[in-house]
Amino acid sequence: MNRFFKMISRILIVSMLVSFYPAHAGIVGTNQLISATQAQGDREKVMNFISRTNVQQQFETLGVTPGAAKERVAAMTDEEVRTIAGQIDSLPAGGSNGWAIAAGVILIAAAIFYFVYK
């Protein structure tokens, strides 16, 4: 029995020495940590935007599958994702397809026409 415990202890010692890898520690700057956090947040914002049903329908009308769009976002650099996330933030809440602008121009033209030829 004593020989069995010696063999087990030797195996454990060898396995600990073989699997031991020294750890390398370094100082992480605040700017690096903040930029990594912001990049991850921007990437999540773009992925959430792509996951919306109306956006996926637009992709399908343009011939892009939602899976391909997600793969493209995953392949983008942090700067490209930051640019797109900034554009998502500047979009109007209800969206605009041009009809509101056209209706406004028509109403203004009708008002001018009415007051000029009254």
Q: Which long-range contacts (CB under 8 A, 24 or more apart) does 21-29 make?
A: none
**Average pLDDT of the chain to the nearest whole number:** 76
Token output for 15: 């396995």
* Portion of the chain with pLDDT greater than 70, in percent: 71
pLDDT digits (tens, 9 = 90+) for 70-104: 888 888 788 888 888 887 777 666 655 566 666 66
Nearest Cα residue to 85 out of 77, 67, 59: 77
What predicted TM-score, i.e. pTM, was given to this entire model?
0.52
User: Which residue ranges make up each domain of the chain?
Assistant: 37-93
Q: Whats the size of the chain, residue-wise?
A: 118
Residue 17 is predicted with a pLDDT of 72
Residues 6+ apart with CB under 8 A from 113: none
pLDDT of residue 11: 84
73 residue type, one letter: V
Q: What is the pLDDT of residue 79?
A: 82
